[in-house]
Amino acid sequence: METRFVQLQGDEHDAAVFAEAGRIIRAGGLVAFPTETVYGLGGNGLDPEASRKIYAAKGRPSDNPLILHIAERDELPPLVQEVPETAGKLMDAFWPGPLTLIFRKRPLVPKETTGGLDTVAVRMPSHPGAAAFIRAAGVPIAAPSANLSGRPSPTTAEHVREDLNGRIDMILDGGESEIGLESTIVDVTGGTPTVLRPGYIGRERLEALLGEIRIDPAVLEKPSADLRPKAPGMKYRHYAPKAPLTLVKGEAAAVSAYITEQCLTAPGRAGILCSLESACGYAAACGKAGKPILLYPLGEQDDEEAAAHRLFAALRQADEDGAAVLFAEACEEKDLGAAIMNRLKKAAAYHIIEV
Ligand code: TXA
Ligand code: MG
């Protein structure tokens, strides 16, 4: 299949592009599109065949449910059994935006889309291109992140092309994703609202709005046979770069000293995901020893927005550069830092060193 690659221009010329993308969706095809979090791989969420195609294109296990994307709030009621009060509060505060809510589904939503579950994940993205595309399609868009299963989520259309060229009908290029990490997922189907996946909207903001919330234990610890994540996707190996990644935690100077020593003795070229400040130190120490290294500065120390924005692209770049081993500096697990650490732990397959 030939994949059409179309640049969005953010003006009236895009109308024809969205109309064509909408036709593709209604005919059962697949279109990758930008959102404020990461790029999505969209298909008609009410068509079981389109959902099967999404799983096939990504190489994704079919028990891992898809998120339905809508453009207006009134598209929600036909999809779900009820809209609990907590959901209403969350939607008022954070929709459109990087928040996905889990509801009990209505029969209209096929089991193929929900991986066999009786619940459905719904999100209303704030990206204007995403909203225009969903409106043009006229159906809820089922969309996982537009990467091959296991690879880092795509934050540019070029990342999507790397993974899915020839496997889908169209890629809409809307530039770099603003946030760079996937949406926060909150289950509102019963009892205390529960975070199934941390994201841009952190625990602190949810608590400020709702009072008590829970974090699914599988978010914090390594999922295992006894600790099954409530979001099925959280159990899979994820975001994994080709090189083994070690996440290093501790006081800044000790972390730098440990990573420097490891890089100096690494058999091949080591890569480091770090702050801009510490990148200079690594470059100096390894340069002095004549040891080439690969540096992936994610932004200034404590600039979590920058780190979130660059993380997935850095992991992909490390693959491309052929890094033999990788190290990442841990950040504080608070607000957006919790989401960054969640992705880093998965990318590191939970290989974490405390120094
Ligand atoms: O930001 C995002 O959420 C992006 C953009 C494209 O919207 N999408 C995304 O989709 O990250 P995906 O498929 O890569 O991740 C969806 C996650 C998976 O972990 C899946 O298991 C979980 O949502 N999920 C979907 N439906 C669910 C349900 N009914 N119950 C629990 N978890 C669910
Ligand atoms: Mg994904």
Which of 339, 332, 351, 120 lies closest to 237, judged by CA? 351
Which of 301, 311, 309, 314 lies closest to 252, judged by CA? 301
Q: Is 189 in the pocket of ligand 1 (CB under 6 A)?
A: no
Which of 17, 325, 6, 309 lies closest to 157, judged by CA? 6
Q: What is the CA radius of gyration of the chain?
A: 20
Give the distance (Å) from ligand 2 centre to CA of residue 345. Answer: 15
* Ligand in nearest proximity to the CA of 185: 1
Q: What is the pLDDT of residues 304-321, one digit of tens each?
A: 999 999 999 999 999 999
Give the distance (Å) from ligand 2 centre to CA of residue 335. Answer: 21
> What three-state secondary structure class fits 145?
strand
Give the distance (Å) from ligand 1 centre to CA of residue 287. Answer: 42
Tokens of 25: 């969706």
Question: What's the CA gap between 39 and 172, in Å, rounded?
Answer: 9
Shortest-distance atom of ligand 1 to CA 100: 3
Low pLDDT (below 70) residues in the chain: 235-237
CB atoms inside a 10 Å sphere around CB 355: 14
The whole-number pLDDT of residue 328 equals 98
Give Cβ neighbours of residue 335 (< 8 Å, ≥ 6 apart): 202, 203, 204, 205, 304
Residue whose structure tokens are 């841990």 = 330
> What three-state secondary structure class fits 195?
strand
> What three-state secondary structure class fits 214?
strand
* Ligand in nearest proximity to the CA of 150: 2
CB atoms inside a 10 Å sphere around CB 92: 10
Shortest-distance atom of ligand 1 to CA 117: 29
> Is-contact 159 313, C-beta < 8 A?
yes
Question: What's the CA gap between 16 and 130, in Å, rounded?
Answer: 15
Question: What's the CA gap between 126 and 110, in Å, rounded?
Answer: 25
> Is-contact 202 335, C-beta < 8 A?
yes
Q: Is 37 in the pocket of ligand 1 (CB under 6 A)?
A: yes
Give the distance (Å) from ligand 1 centre to CA of residue 54. Answer: 13
* Ligand in nearest proximity to the CA of 105: 1
> What three-state secondary structure class fits 318?
helix
For strands 40-44 and 141-142, give the pairing: antiparallel
Q: Is 30 in the pocket of ligand 1 (CB under 6 A)?
A: no
Give the distance (Å) from ligand 2 centre to CA of residue 228. Answer: 18
Tokens of 295: 């540096």
Question: What's the CA gap between 259 and 296, in Å, rounded?
Answer: 13
Give the distance (Å) from ligand 1 centre to CA of residue 330. Answer: 25
Distances (CA, A) of 160 to 145, 310, 337: 9, 16, 25
Question: What's the CA gap between 97 and 225, in Å, rounded?
Answer: 33
Q: Is 54 in the pocket of ligand 1 (CB under 6 A)?
A: no
